[in-house]
Amino acid sequence: MDFRKAAVRIAVALVALAVGAKVQAQSFETIAPDLHLLRGAFAPGQQPDGNTVMLRGRRGWIVIDSGRHEAHTQAILRHASASGVPISDIVNTHWHLDHVSGNALLRRAYPDVEVHASRAIVAAMDGFLANYRRQLATLAERHPASPEMPNWVAEMARIDHGVLLHPTVPIVENARRRLAGRDLDIRLSTDAATDGDVWVYDLASRTLIAGDLVTLPVPFLDTACPSGWRRVLEELDDQPFTRLVPGHGAVMDRKGFRRYRAAFGRLLECAGRGHRSAAQCADAWVRDLGDLLQTDEQARARELLDYYINARLRGPGASAECDQPGRR
C-alpha cells in the first residue's frame, strides 16, 4: 500500500467529515453506573475527536481513548480530578490520532498510568504517520500563509509525541483483564478498521466499547480491510451486550447495532456490484440506517460514501491491505 496516498486519503476524509459539522459541548454523560461518555466533537474546520469512555473501578479510572484536541483531553482530566479518583489505566482502541493523541497529556498528569493498546502504532509511526507528517511539513512549507497552518502544526506535534503514544502493556491476544479492579474482556482484531483494533466488553454494565469498528455517519474506511471488518462485526454481535458505544456517534442498543451491521454488509455487496452507482449504494446506506442517522448527517454520509466507494471499495487498492500487518 502506498502510505502517501493513504495519508492523503485519511487527511481528506477526516477534514471533509469535520467541515461544517456541529460543535458539541465537552461534557460527560452517565450511560451506566460508573460508566461515563464524552462524545468526540466535530468542530467546523477541525478534525474530529473520537468518543471517550471513562469506567470507574475500585482503584481508579480506566480511560478508553484520549481524543485528539487538547480541549477534549482537558475535559477528561477535569472529570477525573473532580471525582478525586486518579486515572490508573488508558485503553486505546486503535492508533488513529483522534483516539491516542491525548495519551501524552494524561501521562504527564498521571505518570504511573498504564497504557493498554495494540502494538500496531509502532509500525504506523514509521509508516503511515511518518508519511502523513511529511505531507503536513510539505504543506506548511509551501503554504506558509494558509489559514490551515495551525491545524498542520498541531497534527505534526501530535505525531511528535512518538513513544508517549505507545502502549506500556501491549495487547497481543484476546484476554479477560482486571483493570483498576474492574473485569473487562479485551479483544484484538488485526484486519478490520486498522491492523490493530481493540474492543472492550465491560461485564458489570454489559457495555461494548467498539472503537472505530462502529462509526457514524459512515464506516471510516481509510486504513481498513473491509472483508475482515465485516467478520469482526459478527463477533461483536456474539457478545451479550445491551448497549454499544461507537468510536464516533451516539450510543446504540442491540437493535441499532444489528441494523448497522446489516447496512455494512449490504454496502460492501453494493460496492462490489459494478452496475450500481456509488450514489445508489450511498442512498441504500442512508435508507438502511434509518433513524441511526440524523437528518442533518445524511448529506455528509452520502458525500463520504461517494469518496470511500470510489477510492477504497472500488479503487485499485481495494482490499489489497488485508492480511498485511503493519502496512495500514
Binding site for Zn ion (CB under 5 A): 50, 98, 212, 247
The residue (of 60 and 67) whose beta carbon lies closer to Zn ion is 67
Q: Which residue is nearest to Zn ion (CB)?
A: 50
Nearer to Zn ion, 213 or 289 (CB): 213
Beta carbon of residue 203, minimum distance to Zn ion (angstroms, whole number): 25
Instruction: List 27's β-bridge partners, or say none.
Output: none
- Nearer to Zn ion by C-beta: 60 or 247? 247
Q: Which helix (H) or strand (E) holds 315?
A: none
Shortest Å, Cβ 39 to Zn ion: 12
Q: How far is the CB of 200 from Zn ion (least distance, A)?
A: 15
DSSP string across 97-159? HHHHTTHHHHHHH-TT-EEEE-THHHHHHHTHHHHHHHHHHHHHHH-TT-TTHHHHHHHHHHH
Contact 161, 104 (CB under 8 A): yes
Minimum distance from residue 40 beta carbon to Zn ion (Å): 7
Residue placing its CB nearer to Zn ion in the complex, 44 or 181: 44
Of 223, 75, 38, 68, nearest to 151 by C-alpha is 68
**Shortest distance in whole angstroms from residue 312 CB to Zn ion:** 16
Residue 210: name the closest of 198, 219, 193, 222 by CA: 198
CB closer to Zn ion, 42 vs 61: 42
